[in-house]
């Protein structure tokens, strides 16, 4: 790794042997840090970048010296979403990039799968082996034995290429770990409103009268959004806040009401809220009449779901449910819902109930309200909007739509498979059966997918696994070939934030060793596969220009517009310009332009506490860590402040099981067990235990999925806890 200080020290030691006088001068300079700082500052470049972590989409400068990032600098120069502010991860974002553990050469497995023994090979050899294997598997089993994963961590351009390459190879088995992210809310909102993304820009949250934070902890998972927009609503504009979470979260201090449901039971609360709003006739009559269909069927479906019924299921007092329902019906509301609700098998039914509630209370299609999916990573939308899914084309149409396929075949020049592929959990399930090969770009499913011991056993059964990552992850340890990718600050491309803001980020550093940007790896592999004529790109701008002509919502997000407008544009941006800030002001995206209200029924979580496993176990994120930790554990300042996993236990439960804070405890579910320290705290409700998920929680979760959304049970499982003698 080139480092400016190393260079200075090399020069000084050389001089020591040759010229004492010069050495004296040099040591004088070395002792005077201000001179050194000035010398380095002269070589410094401020490169504008988008933050590599969450979907708030903060901008700042990477301070680059000689291709090496020294630190970050705040951007007060542009109308950025963060207005110069950053959270602890943003400030530390260059640290993992500079980690000595970054992958630097392609690797070939020499030991057993999962053992992590590899030898270094050349790029040419890596491409040759992968191309030969793809050919062999296609000939023996057909292209439907091959599955691809895109990523929330790679750019829009790179996700588009993953999609294009998988289809050029002939498979629709295409998904990404974001399957475990927004895939309850997204299909439900599409069903009701015809489209899933958030309806309003962040600035509208600051204008809301009521902020409902439901199964979401933006103070830790979208901290600058919380500080710049949510706190502003409460502190400056007098908005009321309601929190619905089995835990007390950091935003909790502003809340006038805190409902604490048992995990996985929020559907009962949402149904009861619909019941209250309809039976008390608090709904927006005009809106329901003019802009929705299906009200009578909805009314009929929720008539028995009283708050008293919901109290028995969720543990939330009926009167509190009434209070919150009345507030939502009478105030301009920002409904911030996220993974506490998405990541359940019954998350789809919850999201349908919530979309109904938003529609009948008229909290949509105007200023000062907020709802919609909140893809958590800087490029969650890059994957979703380039159609990384088993049933989609990048145009947003379905693979089964013959006309849409034909249109794309004309643009791309090759035949596109017409069958619906497998979602991520089904792919894992089919390993050892129909799935023989996986190509994983920027995903750590050995740790991020549910029931990880099972996932790891399944990965062992693959004929061939390619992992393209920046670190040797838990998943990479199962790979036959590991490809070293350039990281976020080492490439130019497009990111998309949760408020639909499309922005450019620029290359600020050189990748370590022989690592290459993901887009380039895919282009070079396509050439080796004989598909080079469809992948003639020499710069990400050329890929973005193709995206401008293929994906209608990005037509106006041209490289030129984004370069001139660092603040980006809001998709849909059908021509160069600001794009669409507020959705559904006139009609919805359904065929008749109306919101289609959906009757909903109560559905139990797949696993409930019983005598053997008497507690609910859920999990959450910490502000200082990112998912499976590949990047944040490699950021020294973050690892120091947030050092280890633990389990939150309510004092009443702790007493029952004889557990004190700091005790080593065993947390068990039917899938497995983990050992962690206990934190006895009122911050989690009785009957529920909660762990940060960055370490080992997925050993405990459940891979059962919803039949439509394919969402697994990642947040509510039955568990038990016991003290371990040390």
Ligand X SMILES: Nc1nc2c(c(=O)[nH]1)N[C@H]1C(S)=C(S)[C@@H](COP(=O)(O)OP(=O)(O)OC[C@H]3O[C@@H](n4cnc5c(=O)[nH]c(N)nc54)[C@H](O)[C@@H]3O)O[C@H]1N2
Among 47, 56, 523, 600, binds ligand SF4 (CB under 6 A): 56
Q: What is the spatial distance between Cα 130 and Cα 355, in angstroms, rounded to a whole number? A: 45
Among 701, 703, 709, 721, binds ligand X (CB under 6 A): 701
CA 454 to centroid of chain Cα atoms:
22
Q: Decide: is 349 part of the binding site for ligand X (CB under 6 A).
A: no
Among 630, 635, 669, 709, binds ligand X (CB under 6 A): 630
What does residue 638 show for φ and ψ, rounded to 5 degrees?
-75, -45
Q: Following DSSP, what letter does each residue of 451-463 receive, concatenated?
A: SHHHHHHHHHT-S
Helix axes 4-18, 33-43, angle to 10 degrees: 120
User: Is the Cβ of residue 94 or residue 176 nearer to Mo ion in the bound state?
Assistant: 176
Instruction: Tell me, residue by residue from 534 to 573, as one string, x for binding to ligand SF4 by CB under 6 A and - for no binding.
Output: ----------------------------------------
Measured CA to CA in angstroms, residue 193 lies from 21, 275, 588, 591, 593 at distances of 77, 21, 6, 10, 8
User: Is the Cβ of residue 86 or residue 617 nearer to ligand SF4 in the bound state?
Assistant: 86
SS3 41: helix
Among 53, 305, 489, 616, binds ligand SF4 (CB under 6 A): 53
Q: Is the peptide bond before 550 cis (omega within 30 degrees of 0)?
A: no
User: Is the Cβ of residue 138 or residue 216 nearer to ligand X in the bound state?
Assistant: 216
Measured CA to CA in angstroms, residue 695 lies from 628, 630, 649, 721 at distances of 6, 10, 18, 17
Least distance (Å) from ligand X to the CB of residue 183? 9
Least distance (Å) from ligand X to the CB of residue 498? 9
Least distance (Å) from ligand SF4 to the CB of residue 497? 8
Residues from 470 through 489 that contact ligand X (CB under 6 A)? 470-471, 473, 485, 487-488
Binding segment (CB under 6 A) for ligand X, from list 2-10, 105-113, 212-220, 274-282: 212-220
Among 98, 458, 619, 635, binds ligand X (CB under 6 A): 619
Instruction: Tell me, residue by residue from 218 to 257, as one string, x for binding to ligand SF4 by CB under 6 A and - for no binding.
Output: ----xxx---------------------------------
Q: Which does residue 630 bind out of ligand X, Mo ion, ligand SF4, none, counting CB within 5 to 8 angstroms by kind?
A: ligand X
Least distance (Å) from ligand SF4 to the CB of residue 610? 39
75 contacts: CB under 8 Å, gap ≥ 6:
48, 59, 60, 61, 84
Nearest Cα neighbor of 443 from 149, 668, 704 is 149
Q: Which does residue 713 bind out of Mo ion, ligand X, ligand SF4, none, counting CB within 5 to 8 angstroms by kind?
A: none
Instruction: Tell me, residue by residue from 179 to 208, as one string, x for binding to Mo ion by CB under 5 A and - for no binding.
Output: --x---------------------------
Nearest Cα neighbor of 656 from 680, 692, 677, 691 is 680
Q: What is the spatial distance between Cα 21 and Cα 73, in angstroms, rounded to a whole number? A: 38
Q: Are 325 and 268 in contact (CB under 8 A)?
A: no
Q: Decide: is 448 part of the binding site for ligand X (CB under 6 A).
A: yes
Q: What is the spatial distance between Cα 677 and Cα 666, in angstroms, rounded to a whole number? A: 9
Least distance (Å) from ligand X to the CB of residue 52? 7
| DSSP 8-state symbol, 237 | T
Binding segment (CB under 6 A) for ligand X, from list 39-47, 271-279, 297-305, 613-621: 613-621
Helix axes 307-314, 318-330, angle to 10 degrees: 120
Instruction: Tell me, residue by residue from 57 to 96, as one string, x for binding to ligand SF4 by CB under 6 A and - for no binding.
Output: xx-----------------------x---xx-xx------
Q: Decide: is 580 part of the binding site for ligand X (CB under 6 A).
A: no
Q: Which does residue 314 bind out of ligand X, Mo ion, ligand SF4, none, counting CB within 5 to 8 angstroms by kind?
A: none
Measured CA to CA in angstroms, residue 127 lies from 107, 108, 354 at distances of 11, 11, 48
Nearest Cα neighbor of 699 from 375, 531, 507, 474 is 474
Residues from 193 through 222 that contact ligand SF4 (CB under 6 A)? 222
Among 26, 47, 49, 54, binds ligand SF4 (CB under 6 A): 54
Residues from 336 through 375 that contact Mo ion (CB under 5 A)? none
Q: What is the spatial distance between Cα 24 and Cα 717, in angstroms, rounded to a whole number? A: 68
Instruction: Tell me, residue by residue from 146 to 185, as one string, x for binding to Mo ion by CB under 5 A and - for no binding.
Output: -----------------------------------x----
Q: Decide: is 572 part of the binding site for Mo ion (CB under 5 A).
A: no
What number of other Cβ atoms are within 10 A of residue 530's Cβ? 10
User: Is the Cβ of residue 181 or residue 573 nearer to ligand X in the bound state?
Assistant: 181
Q: Which does residue 691 bind out of ligand X, Mo ion, ligand SF4, none, counting CB within 5 to 8 angstroms by kind?
A: none
Least distance (Å) from ligand X to the CB of residue 59? 17
Does an H or E element contain 50, and which? strand 44-50
Q: Are 690 and 617 in contact (CB under 8 A)?
A: yes
436 contacts: CB under 8 Å, gap ≥ 6:
137, 141, 145, 146, 462, 463, 464
**Residues in binding contact with Mo ion, number by CB under 5 A:** 2
Q: Decide: is 438 part of the binding site for ligand X (CB under 6 A).
A: no
Q: What is the spatial distance between Cα 185 and Cα 52, in angstroms, rounded to a whole number? A: 24
530 contacts: CB under 8 Å, gap ≥ 6:
none
User: Is the Cβ of residue 134 or residue 428 nearer to Mo ion in the bound state?
Assistant: 428
SS3 660: coil
**Three-state secondary structure along 353-385?**
HHHHHHHHCCCCCCCCCECCECCCECCHHHHHH
Least distance (Å) from ligand X to the CB of residue 258? 11
Among 215, 368, 372, 376, binds Mo ion (CB under 5 A): 376
Among 153, 436, 594, 706, binds ligand X (CB under 6 A): 153
User: Is the Cβ of residue 405 or residue 710 nearer to Mo ion in the bound state?
Assistant: 710
Least distance (Å) from ligand X to the CB of residue 87? 8
Q: Which residue is nearest to Mo ion (CB)?
A: 181
Q: What is the spatial distance between Cα 423 and Cα 388, in angstroms, rounded to a whole number? A: 10
The terminus-to-terminus CA distance of the chain in angstroms comes to 43
Interface residues with ligand X (CB under 6 A) are 54, 89, 151-154, 177-178, 180-181, 214-218, 220-222, 244-247, 249, 261, 263-264, 266, 338-340, 343, 376-377, 441-445, 448, 468-471, 473, 485, 487-488, 518, 618-621, 623, 625-628, 630-631, 690, 693, 697-698, 701, 714-716
- The residues of the shown chain that bind ligand SF4, judged by CB under 6 A, are 51, 53-54, 56-58, 82, 86-87, 89-90, 222-224
């Amino acid at each position: 790794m080139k480092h400016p200080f190393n260079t200075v020290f090399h020069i000084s030691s050389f001089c020591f042997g040759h010229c004492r006088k010069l050495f004296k001068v040099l040591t004088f300079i070395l002792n005077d840090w201000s001179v050194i700082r000035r010398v380095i500052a002269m070589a410094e470049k401020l490169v504008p970048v988008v933050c590599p972590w969450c979907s708030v989409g903060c901008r700042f400068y990477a301070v680059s010296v000689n291709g090496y990032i020294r630190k970050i600098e705040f951007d007060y120069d542009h109308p950025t979403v963060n207005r110069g502010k950053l959270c602890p991860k943003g400030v530390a974002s260059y640290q993992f990039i500079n980690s000595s553990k970054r992958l630097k050469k392609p690797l070939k497995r020499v030991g057993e799968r999962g053992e992590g023994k590899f030898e270094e090979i050349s790029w040419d050899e890596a491409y040759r082996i992968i191309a030969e294997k793809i050919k062999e598997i296609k000939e023996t089993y057909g292209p439907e034995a091959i599955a691809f994963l895109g990523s929330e961590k790679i750019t829009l351009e790179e996700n588009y290429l993953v999609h294009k390459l998988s289809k050029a190879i002939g498979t629709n088995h295409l998904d990404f770990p974001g399957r475990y992210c927004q895939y309850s809310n997204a299909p439900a909102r599409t069903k009701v409103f015809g489209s899933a993304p958030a309806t309003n820009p962040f600035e509208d949250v600051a204008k809301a009268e009521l902020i409902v934070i439901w199964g979401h902890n933006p103070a830790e998972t979208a901290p600058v959004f919380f500080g710049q927009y949510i706190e502003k609503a409460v502190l400056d504009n007098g908005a009321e806040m309601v929190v619905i979470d089995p835990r007390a979260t950091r935003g909790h201090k502003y809340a006038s009401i805190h409902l604490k449901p048992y995990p996985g039971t929020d559907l009962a609360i949402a149904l009861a809220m619909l019941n209250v709003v309809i039976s008390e006739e608090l709904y927006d009559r005009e809106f329901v009449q003019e802009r929705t269909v299906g009200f009578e069927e909805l009314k009929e479906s929720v008539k028995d779901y009283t708050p008293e019924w919901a109290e028995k299921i969720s543990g939330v007092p009926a009167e509190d449910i009434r209070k919150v329902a009345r507030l939502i019906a009478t105030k301009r509301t920002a409904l911030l819902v996220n993974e506490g609700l998405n990541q359940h098998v019954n998350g789809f039914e919850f999201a349908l109930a919530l979309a109904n509630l938003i529609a009948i209370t008229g909290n949509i299609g105007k200023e000062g309200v907020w709802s919609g999916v909140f893809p958590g990573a800087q490029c969650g939308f890059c994957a979703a909007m380039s159609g990384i899914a088993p049933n989609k084309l990048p145009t947003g149409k379905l693979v089964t739509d013959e006309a849409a396929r034909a249109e794309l075949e004309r643009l791309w020049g090759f035949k596109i498979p017409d069958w619906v592929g497998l979602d991520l959990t089904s792919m894992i399930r089919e390993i050892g059966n129909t799935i023989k090969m996986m190509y994983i770009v920027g995903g750590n499913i050995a740790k991020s997918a549910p029931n990880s011991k099972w996932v790891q056993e399944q990965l062992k059964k693959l004929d061939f696994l390619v992992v393209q990552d920046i670190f040797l992850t838990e998943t990479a340890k199962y790979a036959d070939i590991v490809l070293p990718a350039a990281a976020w600050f080492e490439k130019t491309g497009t990111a998309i934030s949760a408020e639909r803001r499309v922005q450019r980020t620029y290359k600020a550093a050189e990748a370590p060793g022989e690592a290459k940007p993901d887009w380039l790896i895919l282009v070079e592999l396509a050439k080796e596969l004989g598909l080079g004529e469809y992948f003639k790109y020499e710069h990400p701008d050329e890929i973005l220009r193709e995206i401008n002509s293929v994906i209608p919502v990005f037509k106006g997000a041209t490289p030129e517009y984004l370069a001139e407008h660092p603040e980006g544009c809001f998709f849909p941006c059908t021509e160069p310009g600001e794009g669409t800030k507020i959705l559904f002001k006139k009609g919805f995206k359904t065929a008749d332009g109306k919101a289609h209200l959906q009757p909903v029924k109560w559905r139990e979580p797949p696993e409930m506490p019983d005598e053997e496993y008497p507690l609910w176990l859920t999990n959450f994120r910490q502000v200082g860590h990112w998912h499976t930790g590949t990047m944040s554990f490699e950021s020294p300042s973050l690892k120091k402040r947030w050092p280890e996993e633990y389990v939150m236990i309510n004092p009443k439960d702790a007493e029952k099981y004889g557990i004190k804070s700091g005790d080593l405890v065993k947390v068990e579910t039917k899938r497995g067990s983990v050992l962690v320290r206990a934190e006895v705290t009122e911050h989690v409700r009785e009957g529920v235990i909660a762990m940060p998920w960055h370490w080992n929680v997925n050993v405990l979760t459940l891979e059962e999925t919803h039949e439509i959304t394919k969402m697994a049970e990642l947040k509510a499982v039955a568990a038990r806890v016991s003290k371990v003698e040390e």
